[in-house]
Amino acid sequence: MNNESIIGQTISFVKQQLKGDSTGHDWWHVYRVWKMAMSLAKEEGADLFVVQLAALLHDIADWKFHDGNDRKGEILAAEWLQSLRLDDVTITHVCEIIRDISFKGAGVKTIMQTIEGKVVQDADRLDALGAIGIARAFAYGGYKGQEMYNPDIEPVLHQSFEEYKKNSGTTLNHFHEKLFLLKDLMNTASAGRIAQERDLFMKEFVARFLGECEEPILN
Ligand code: ADP
Ligand code: NI
């Protein structure tokens, strides 16, 4: 099978897996990450085939059946790529990217080994920023059942993945716990520039949100 049909079949597989998602990990998230990763890959000279597969498969672990198994995504991706008879080197590379891509807390380092991993991670993180990032944070917060905002709960900079996963904070705190940190964690300069601009928009959003909380009641 040629690379183009592998990508085509993978797109159909991912659409099927993510159908009905309302947590912000839907097909259109994957689509944006895929497009952004390709454009960063061209700039950075990364292998486009590996980048596309990793971007398409990075959130494959079905949200409906997420049972706390952190490795489910790489296992499912490996099974899928084996079913397409892809070579082991490519499968291992794609699965390593899927394993290392996620943000695991403010104090936890997740270092991508290859340029392919770096651009996919940047593309995924860019989709957590800006207008879409704000929408995804509130969608995810609603799904988790967390409060939107509560001035009595302080943000926490988590030092371990366990702590980060257990987090029972508010969505507004998530901006301080993750989203505002991302602009300084980009691997590539082009992603860094986009992140900077999206970060400013989110800061303005949070400032307005807090401002509206304090606005005097008109009479
Ligand atoms: P990723 O797969 O990008 O490493 P996650 O699966 O943790 O990250 O997050 C997916 C989306 O949900 C992101 O837009 C992220 O900011 C948002 N999100 C994750 N955790 C929270 C949370 N506790 N509150 C609000 N939004 C969150
Ligand atoms: Ni993602």
Ligand nearest to the CA of 30: 2
Query: pLDDT over 90 for what percent of the chain?
Result: 74
How many residues does the structure list for the chain?
219
**Which pLDDT band holds residue 107 (cuts at 50, 70, 90)?**
confident
pLDDT at residue 62, rounded to an integer: 62
Ligand nearest to the CA of 132: 1
Q: For residue 98, report the distance from its CA to the centre of ligand 2, in Å.
A: 10
**Which pLDDT band holds residue 46 (cuts at 50, 70, 90)?**
very high
Q: For residue 136, report the distance from its CA to the centre of ligand 2, in Å.
A: 11
Name the token pair of 42.
């061209």
- Distance, in Å, from the CA atom of 130 to the CA atom of 195, rounded to the nearest integer, reads 8
Q: For residue 219, report the distance from its CA to the centre of ligand 2, in Å.
A: 46
Q: For residue 114, report the distance from its CA to the centre of ligand 1, in Å.
A: 23
Decide whether any atom of ligand 1 lies within 6 Å of the 123 Cβ.
Answer: no
Q: What is the pTM of this model?
A: 0.92
Mutate to test the pocket of ligand 1, among 97, 125, 140, 205 (most ligand atoms within 8 A of CB): 140
pLDDT, tens only, 147-185: 999 999 988 887 777 777 766 799 999 999 999 999 999
Residue with tokens 């380092």: 109
Handedness of CA 170, 171, 177, 180 (dihedral sign): negative
pLDDT at residue 67, rounded to an integer: 60
